[in-house]
Chains A and B, each alone.
Chain A
Amino acid sequence: DIQMTQSPSSLSASVGDRVTITCRASQGISDYLAWYQQKPGKPPRLLIYAAFTLQSGVPSRFSGGGSGTDFTLTISSLQPEDVATYYCQKYHGAPPTFGQGTKVEIK
């Protein structure tokens, strides 16, 4: 199975900072990658699919990039409501696999 590795596992940044999370696949997955945001006690929310396509209703400060094995999720200007854990997921072929998560906090 393809493994997904996220870095860092957690980060702390100030409001307004640019934040980047990295996700690496153990094999090439083209652009079959999604990103989710999960706030405490809530189910995950789809942010991005196809590596860079923003899901409807997601603020434009979120963006995705990458292809093949290396991907990024960027928050251009961190807001207090962005405090959450973020997961990447590859979905080309079964099983779909998630990264271990990156917890984002406000400094």
Chain B
Amino acid sequence: EVQLVESGGGLVQPGGSLRLSCEASGFTFSSYSMHWVRQAPGKGLEYVSAVGHAGALTYYADSVKGRFTISRDNSKNTLYLQMASLRTEDTAVYYCTREMGNWMYYDFWGQGTVVIVSS
């Protein structure tokens, strides 16, 4: 059974940093590109970032470029999102997702981890 379990969310002040993790199981993690998608309270879904299966290729939404860094450790079956210079508008549930079929849509989602940026 495919499982994606996010962790690392919490309350952080504006300008602060946080690292999210997503532990994957039930599939060959190193064979899949992985993404982060977020959802602000009461709002819709927003793509954040993606990383290729080997970790060499990365993509970022303009809203987080230069502040967030996506990475992965295939030996640990874990995806990361290092977030810096956090803003109040980064407050959201952050979902780890598995890319399906080498296209940027998602067949499995984690339960999400909540990030609150507030003073």
Partner of B104, one of A36, A42, A87, A94: A94
Question: CB of B46 within 8 A of chain A?
Answer: yes
Smallest CB gap from A100: residue in B: B44
Q: What per-residue 1/0 map shows which CB atoms of B54-96 lie under 8 Å from chain A?
A: 0000010110000000000000000000000000000000010
The answer to whether A91 and B45 touch (CB under 8 A), given A43-B109, A43-B112, is: no
Q: What per-residue 1/0 map shows which CB atoms of A22-48 lie under 8 Å from chain B?
A: 000000000010101010001111100
Summarize B's interface: helix, strand, loop or mixed.
Answer: strand
Interface of chain A residues 28 through 84 with chain B (CB within 8 A)? 32, 34, 36, 38, 42-46, 49, 55
Q: Is the CB of B105 within 8 A of A34?
A: yes
Summarize A's interface: helix, strand, loop or mixed.
Answer: loop
- Chain B: interface residue total (CB-CB under 8 A): 20
Question: CB of A20 within 8 A of chain B?
Answer: no
Q: Is the CB of B61 within 8 A of A43?
A: no
Smallest CB gap from B108: residue in A: A46
Query: Nearest-CB distance from B72 to chain A (Å)?
Result: 18
- With a 10 A CB-CB cut-off, give which of A43, A44, A95 has the most chain B CB atoms: A43
Knowing that A32-B103, A42-B111, A43-B110 are A-B contacts, what are 4 other residue pairs whose CB atoms are under 8 Å apart, sorted by A's residue number?
A34-B105, A91-B103, A92-B103, A98-B44
